[in-house]
Every structure is written in structure tokens, then in C-alpha cells.
A and B are shown apart, each in its own frame.
Chain A
């Protein structure tokens, strides 16, 4: 257990909990007063595997900096889960070994798993008692893992269209979530970390869009042109309206604390 990285060729470890034997630091040691009160509230009612599950059966991410971390962790779980399922699907398995698209989908899968595990490590260290569950259950019934792109007339998304939806959604979500991070030292570090990740998500989004349709990397549905050149930004409520379509009952996200 002393290796940073499992160097085996097996693919079995993704669903296992990450072993993180670090000391848990008190959130109150560095969080601001408001965030501290939030953590108290959350840890007061959620201190076991059901952390974050509200009576309605949704997964409440909480509020403040920890809420944003949970929110990001949930979205990264969804993205990583998508690429995991994709690699188990017919389309991916039919790709030639060493083909450009296979390499790209592999890279995106690795990046998203790393992002997911990064947030898990940060939450485990900083706010373990308020962390959402690590096993959000995706619902990919709306995705056809046999199809590269959405077939004409099909109600199901092709894998690249689904990837595009997830990557664009991820960028818009990070853009809209920065404002909920507390302006304290911990918040700054989370903001920097999110910033390091969101630009990689934007690179993914651009690449996937170009694979779907070359040159569509900054189409007007994602970047406003002729006014301020800003990428779209979505509120947490807008994001989960989409994200929850891809999550099973009991794993649907509640972002009522991020307002």
C-alpha cells in the first residue's frame, strides 16, 4: 500500500473506496464562521454512510466551500462513471487499438477518474463528516453506448454527444460555482484547485465538440460571440436539472444550499 499509483494492468480498483489514512483536520480550524456553522449543521445530522441524504431521497451537497466541493465531487463522479461505462460499451470496444479516438477516450477517462479521486481526497481530509456518498448511482439509460453519435430519430444520445453534454455541463457548472466558495484560506485553495480542473474540462469539451463536428469547439451555444466572448455559466440549480437526468432515484442531487 505504499505506491502512489497502482501499476498493475487490472481495471478493478475504480469502485473500491480510496484508502486515506490521514488525520482528519477539524474543519473549524480554518473555515470561516459561516462555513463552520454549516459544517456543524451537516455533521450534526449526517455522520455515517447516509451523509447528505435528505428524507426526500436526494443527495444534499450542503453549502459554502464544502457544498461546492461536494457538488464538484458529484459531477466528477458522474463524468468518471460515464467514461467507465463508455469503455464497457460496444462502440469503444470496437475501436482499433491505438486509434486516435480510443486514445482520446482513454485519456478523458483517466483525467476524470483523477478529478473524482482528487475531490474525494480533499473532502476526506477537510470535511469527511459532510462528504456526500462516493457511490452515486448513474442512470445512463438515455445513452446508446453502441453509437458514436446520436442516430437520426433516436431518443438516445450517442457516446460523443453524451460526452459533449457532460463536458460542457461541467465547465458551465464550475463557472457558476466559484461564487459559493468562502473567501478564506481554505476557500482560496479550493478555488485554485477547481480552476486547475475546469480548464482541463474546457479542453475536453472543445475536443469532443470538434470530434462531433469539426470547428464547433466554441459554437454560440457555449460561448457568446459579438458581445463579451464569455462562456456560458450555469447555476447549480440549472446544472442539476440536467445532471439528475443521469442519476438514479436516491442519487439525485439537491443543491438548495448553493444559492
Chain B
């Protein structure tokens, strides 16, 4: 969403109300599907009709992005909390590390809840999670031994952290209209990437064929339901896009981007960029572990 376009739309619809609200971040930030109700409650009746008219053209916004983020942070936070409370044996010093990661995820939940609350948006409730993927024993499990086998636990952790990285990245379009929330999301995003790298390192230490970044050489730990976690992640070409033109990097005519074997260069290019994920895909992955 382009905030300037939005303001232009709004000014066109009702220049008087535009002037009254354009400086108020709480209004601008409250334009999500849930948020529109909050806006309607917060402003005079006549004005809310104007807002619906102007803002109603857009389907998702800053706070929708934060709502998705909260769902994913609930997921990660609950995952580590359940693991730490389970009988899972954490070898060596790994429990300390998992506790630190769990604390970050709890911090993220608290931060996102507070942001949504302060923006007068209904805070989504924490769903119920079943990390075996059996939806509370109503279907066959995807990860039956997630809290009894450390290796499985780490696999699920990697899938969730890498999903988090991709999902935050997929929301920048919705976030870019609010610099403070964009920056907050970027800062959480980087923490998820650090977690992902460390979890991958833990798996590597146990003998898994995996790197600290998403690589085409990584052993495949997905099945059909979890395949979207890495779908379209290993692009060998990066598009540099504008409204009028698209070029692909590396350029077909370029030479010397990386001087090594062709195989190694292609591998490195795939590794050097983490790809975004849409909200739909992120929610589909999260839903594997949600049963109520």
C-alpha cells in the first residue's frame, strides 16, 4: 500500500476530513480489516464512512502484518515453552540456548500485543498448538516425537524459524508506510534469522547436512505439508523490478559476479538471498500446528 496514494485518495474523497486525520498515526495505522472497526468507533460517524470508502480499497495493512506476526510469534513462543516443559532431553548446554530463544519469542509476543493494543486493534487470542501436527490427536502426526527426540525438535525449530524469516520479509509492503513499525519488524526479522542460523548449526553439529543459511545443498527435511517452508526459496536469479522494467541479477551479459565453478557460484547466489513468503503461505504453515 502506498500511503501517499492513500492520502491522495482520501483527500479526493473528502479534503476536510483528510486534513483532520492525516497527521494521526493511530488512524493511519488502524486501517486493517479489524482496524477499520476501531476507526469507525474512534471517529465521528460521518467521517468513518469516508474512511471506509477510501481505505476500503486496500485489503491489508500495517496492523494486519502485525497480526500475522503475532500468530507466528505465538507459534514459536509456545513451541519452545512446550519443549522446555516437556520431558525432552537437551544435550550439553543446549537448554540455555533454547531458553534464550524462547525468551526472545515471548518478548516478541509481548511487544506485538502491546503495539496492537496501543493502536486500538483487537489483539488476536493465542491459538491452541499441537506441534506433533496431529491436531490434538485427530489425525496422523507429522512429527510424532517432536518433544521426545532432540533431532526432530531441532527440525521443527528450523522449519518454524525459517518460516518466520520469510514471513516477516513478505510483509514489508504492508509495513513500509509506517517507519517505526517497519523498523521494529525488521529488527524482529533479524533476530529470527539469527535463531535460524544457530538452530541450523545445532543440527549440523549433530551430523545433519545443513548450512546456516538456506542452501540448495541442505538435506530436505520437509514432507508435502511442510514443503511450502522452502518453496521458491532458492532462486538462482534475482529480479530487479520497477513498474516499467524487470532485469534479472546476475545479468545474462554480466561476467565476474563470482569467480568460481559455475556450480558453486549458482549455489552461492541461491544462498545469498532469503526469499519472502506470502501471508497465505505463512498461515498455511502455521495452521499445521493449530487445532483451535
Complex CA gap A107/B213 in Å reads: 10
Q: In the complex, how many angstroms separate the beta carbon of B221 from the nearest chain A beta carbon?
A: 17
The answer to whether A230 and B271 have CB atoms under 8 Å apart is: no
B102-122 vs A: 1/0 string, CB under 8 Å? 011111101100000000000
**Cβ contact of A195, chosen from B189, B213, B261, B268, cutoff 8 A:** B189
Contacts of A152 in B (CB 8 A): none
- Max chain A CB contacts within 10 Å: which of B105, B188, B190, B194? B190
Complex CA gap A19/B251 in Å reads: 9
Interface residues on A, range: 35 or more
The answer to whether B243 and A30 have CB atoms under 8 Å apart is: yes
Complex CA gap A197/B268 in Å reads: 13
Complex CA gap A210/B172 in Å reads: 29
Contacts of A222 in B (CB 8 A): 194
Contacts of A181 in B (CB 8 A): 176
Complex CA gap A184/B1 in Å reads: 9
Q: In the complex, how many angstroms separate the beta carbon of B73 from the nearest chain A beta carbon?
A: 9
The 3 closest A-B pairs by CB, nearest first: A229-B107, A13-B256, A202-B193
Per the 8 Å Cβ criterion, residues 172-212 of B in contact with A are 172-173, 176-177, 179-180, 182-184, 186-198, 201, 211-212
**Cβ contact of A113, chosen from B182, B197, B258, B273, cutoff 8 A:** B258
Instruction: Pick the interface stretch among A131-139, A185-193, A245-253.
Output: A185-193
Considering the complex, give the chain B residue whose CB is closest to the CB of A198: B190
**Cβ contact of A196, chosen from B177, B257, B276, cutoff 8 A:** B276
The answer to whether A218 and B100 have CB atoms under 8 Å apart is: yes
The answer to whether A184 and B2 have CB atoms under 8 Å apart is: yes
Interfacial residues, chain A to chain B (CB-CB below 8 A): 1-14, 16, 18-22, 25, 29-30, 32, 104, 107, 110-111, 113-115, 117-118, 121-122, 125-126, 171, 174-176, 178-179, 181, 183-189, 191-193, 195-200, 202-207, 210, 215, 217-218, 222-233
The answer to whether B257 and A18 have CB atoms under 8 Å apart is: yes
**Cβ contact of A206, chosen from B4, B197, B243, B247, cutoff 8 A:** B197
A-B contact pairs, 29 of them (CB 8 A): A1-B253, A3-B262, A5-B255, A21-B253, A104-B212, A107-B268, A111-B271, A113-B257, A114-B272, A171-B190, A178-B183, A178-B186, A188-B173, A189-B241, A192-B173, A198-B193, A200-B273, A203-B212, A204-B197, A206-B194, A206-B197, A206-B198, A217-B197, A229-B104, A229-B105, A229-B106, A229-B191, A233-B183, A233-B187
